[in-house]
Each structure stands twice: as structure tokens, then as C-alpha cells.
Amino acid sequence: MSIEELSLDTLDGIGPVTKQKLENAGIYTVLDLAIRGPSEIAEAIGVDLKKAIEFNSSARLRLMELGLLEKEFIPASEIYKKRQNIERITTGSKNLDELLDGGIETQAVTEFYGEFGSGKTQLCHTLCVTVQLSRDKGGLEAGAIYIDTENTFRPERVFQIAEARGLEPLKTLDNIIVAKAYNSSHQELIVSEIGSVVDKMPIKLVVVDSAVAHYRAEFLGRGTLAERQQRLNRFMHLLLRTAEARNLAVVVTNQVQAAPDVFFGDPSKPTGGHVVAHTSTYRIYLKKAGKNRIARIIDSPYHPERETVFVLNEKGVDDPEETTSKKR
């Protein structure tokens, strides 16, 4: 495949003006066009839905011809082959990796939810470092994109984690592209631009910390709940399609209030509600337990519900000392 074959103006009906409009909306290649919904395309370039569907379809067709997109009816063997390309990133904790069957997966969205201080942001920082480790150490020798919605990204913390894990700290920071999202629309725009970053440098992880904070703040009250869910839904699907199309791991966080008297009774009421829950491929609930943190995998296509213990220290996410070598 050559990059020319993915150029927007090779598609019928896309001239310089339309191309410019698409680029303004963060759609730079046929790949980007194919993973956007027709209504988004229509909105972006000011055409009717019918025309947008045409553009989207011809983009999808091109990708199918290039073998980059599955056909509507796919032999299971092809899905199997694609899944063979799934890669995993270590979380820094053997326990947590084991819970996740080897780490955070590419081609999937993994959601970590839990109360304040449960370690969601710390885990995100750690993953931005571990993704850069060599493959024999559980990394993918690639960089990360960090979408920061709560202004909690701390390069100093990344520096410390990188150093503790034997990586060159400044080089490690070079490989993390940070985007601050000021509101939900900005957050969506940033995600729509991921493709242009991935085209320029090897990226295997996209973090959105937190995925839902802006939506929660902006859509208050019952009347706006449906709209909030619809927007979140669109956002989560865009993330999932990006993860699949680019073979990268997406990690999102979601804050929930702990139910004080229920341990693991029914904590599964993340702020994003069911939309986030259903789009995420894996959902992990995090909870403080003294100095330790408990992670529980909530629902996934093939993991039974299980839990494990990890800690936060200078290496970021790590195993508790007494269980490091013990099989849980």
C-alpha cells in the first residue's frame, strides 16, 4: 500500500475544496474518512447525509480493496488472523497483567473506573512509560498519546517512573504526545486527529484521562442526559474504531463514587452510564484498600470476574512486595 492510495483526492467527488474542509475536521486520509460516521462527515463538510454516506462508502470500499478493512461478511478465519495481530502492553504489575491475560490489548478500549485516588491517573502515567519498553520487558517500543481532560498529566511523574524502569527519562517524555482537552467538543476533535499523529510516529497507546469528566460537567440535569449519552457513545465508538483500524490500545478512565458499605456489591455505576460500559471491550474497577489497590475485571467477552492487588510507588504501578513472585 502506498500513501497516495489513501489520499482523499483519489476518491470520486473530492476536489481541493472538499479535501480542505475534511482536513479542517481532522479527516486527512481515506482511512480517517472510513472510520467517521456519515452524520459527522455531513456536518464537517456541509453536504447532505446521502452525499456523506457516498463518501464514507467509497472510502470503505477503497480500504477493502487495499485489504485494510473487513468486508461486511467476513470469514471467521479472517477475524482470527486480525486478532493474531493483537499486542499487549504490560501495566507494570505482574498481578494486574495476569488479570488482563498479559496486559492492555491493542484493537480494544480498556476502561478503568473507580473513586478518586484509586490510581487511574497513576496507571495512565505508567502505561505511557511501559508501552515504550522493549518487547522482552512487556512493552511495544512505541509512543503514547495522552489526552488530558482534568489537567492531571505530570511530566515529572513520568520522568520518575521512566527512571525507575531503566528508560532515558527525557527520551521517554519525547515519545508522549500530550493534548489538553478543554471541553467535550475539543476532546472529540483531538481524538479525530489521532490519525495524523500516528501517521508521523509509532504510537501504540492512546490514553483519555478522564473520558467522561467534560460530558458530566457540561450535560447537567435529566433533560440533557440523552444528548450526553449520544455524544459519549459517538466518542467511544470513534475511539474503538481508531483502536481497531490502527492496531493500538486505548485506555479510558471514568470516576465513580464508591458505595461506602458495599465492597464489590454494585460499584458498577460509572458516570458515563451504560454507553461507556458497552463500548469498552474491557472494564476494570479500581478500589483503594489501605496502601494497596484492588483491581477487579468486571465484564469482558471471555474473562470471568476476578480480582487482584497492586500498589503505587516510584515505578508507578507495581506489585506488592510480598506477592511479586507468588502466583495469585
> Site residues (CB under 5 A) for Mg ion?
120-121, 152
Q: Minimum distance between the CB of residue 290 and ligand GTP, rounded to whole angstroms?
A: 11
Cβ-based nearer residue to ligand GTP, 11 or 161: 161
> Of residues 29, 121, 184, 308, which one binds ligand GTP by CB under 6 A?
121
For residues 204 and 135, give the distance between their C-alpha atoms in angstroms, rounded to a whole number.
12
Beta strands (DSSP E) in 45-157 are: 88-89, 104-105, 108-114, 143-148
Cβ-based nearer residue to Mg ion, 121 or 192: 121
CA atoms within 13 A on the CB side of 80: 3
Closest among 14, 96, 127, 72 to 296, alpha carbons compared: 96
Cβ-based nearer residue to ligand GTP, 66 or 164: 164
Q: Minimum distance between the CB of residue 123 and Mg ion, rounded to whole angstroms?
A: 9
Cβ-based nearer residue to Mg ion, 28 or 112: 112
Contact flag: residue 296 with ligand GTP (CB under 6 A): no
Contact status, residue 173 vs residue 154, Cβ threshold 8 Å: no
Contact status, residue 215 vs residue 228, Cβ threshold 8 Å: yes
Residue 7: C-alpha distances to residues 23, 31, 36, 46, 224 (Å): 11, 9, 16, 20, 39
Contact status, residue 98 vs residue 241, Cβ threshold 8 Å: no
Beta pairing class for 88-89 and 108-114: unpaired
Q: Which does 313 bind (CB under 5 to 8 A by kind): ligand GTP, Mg ion, none?
A: ligand GTP
Cβ-based nearer residue to ligand GTP, 45 or 145: 145
Q: Minimum distance between the CB of residue 27 and Mg ion, rounded to whole angstroms?
A: 31
Number of residues that bind ligand GTP (CB under 6 A): 12
From 38-46, 114-122, 219-227, 258-266, give the range in contact with ligand GTP by CB under 6 A: 114-122
Q: Is the dihedral of CA 139, 144, 149, 151 positive or negative?
A: positive
Contact flag: residue 292 with ligand GTP (CB under 6 A): no
Which amino acid would we find at residue 184? S
Closest among 288, 287, 267 to 277, alpha carbons compared: 267
> Of residues 122, 187, 242, 280, which one binds ligand GTP by CB under 6 A?
122
Looking at beta carbons, which residue is closest to Mg ion? Answer: 121
Cβ-based nearer residue to ligand GTP, 119 or 267: 119
Q: Is 180 helix (H, G, I), strand (E, B) or coil?
A: strand
Q: Minimum distance between the CB of residue 134 and ligand GTP, rounded to whole angstroms?
A: 24
Beta pairing class for 249-255 and 203-209: parallel
Q: Which does 270 bind (CB under 5 to 8 A by kind): ligand GTP, Mg ion, none?
A: none
From 14-22, 116-124, 184-192, 232-240, give the range in contact with ligand GTP by CB under 6 A: 116-124
Residues forming the site for ligand GTP (CB under 6 A): 114, 116-122, 157, 255, 312-313
